[in-house]
Amino acid sequence: MVEHVSINGASLAYRLIGPEDAPLMITLHGGRGFGDHKSDFKAYSPLSSSYRVLSFDFRGHGQSSQTEPFTFHQLVEDIESIRQHFSGPDRPCIVCGGSFGGFLAQQYAITYPDQVSHLILRGTAPSHHHEEKAVRTLVERASKAPGLSIKFLKDKIFGRFDSDLEFRLVMYAAAPLYSEHFDADVALKHNLDTVFYAKSHNDLYAEPEKFFDYRDRLHLITAKSLVIVGGRDWICPPEQSKDIATRIPGARLEIIENANHGVHLEKNAEVIELIQEHLS
Residue 204: is it exposed, middle or buried by C-beta count within 10 angstroms (0-12/13-18/19+)? buried
| Tens digit of each residue's pLDDT, the chain (280 residues) | 899 999 999 999 999 999 999 999 999 999 999 999 999 999 999 999 999 999 999 999 999 999 999 999 999 999 999 999 999 998 999 999 999 999 999 999 999 999 999 999 999 999 999 999 999 999 999 899 999 999 999 999 999 999 999 999 999 999 999 988 899 999 999 999 999 999 999 999 999 999 999 999 999 999 999 999 999 999 999 999 999 999 999 999 999 999 999 999 999 999 999 999 999 9
Query: What one-character DSSP code corresponds to residue 157?
Result: I
Backbone angles phi, psi at 166, to 5 degrees: -60, -45
**pLDDT tens by residue, 173-198:** 999 999 888 999 999 999 999 999 99
Please choose, from the candidates 230, 280, 273, the residue with its C-alpha nearest in 3D space to the C-alpha of residue 253: 230
List of E strands, the chain: 3-7, 10-17, 24-28, 52-56, 93-98, 116-122, 224-230, 252-256
pTM of the model: 0.96
Beta-carbon contacts of 131 under 8 Å, excluding residues fewer than 6 positions away, are 154, 158
**pLDDT tens by residue, 100-112:** 999 999 999 999 9
Helix (H) / strand (E) containing 135: helix 130-140
Pairing of strands 52-56, 10-17: antiparallel
Structural domain boundaries of the chain?
3-128+213-279, 130-204
CATH for the stretch 3-128+213-279: 3.40.50.1820
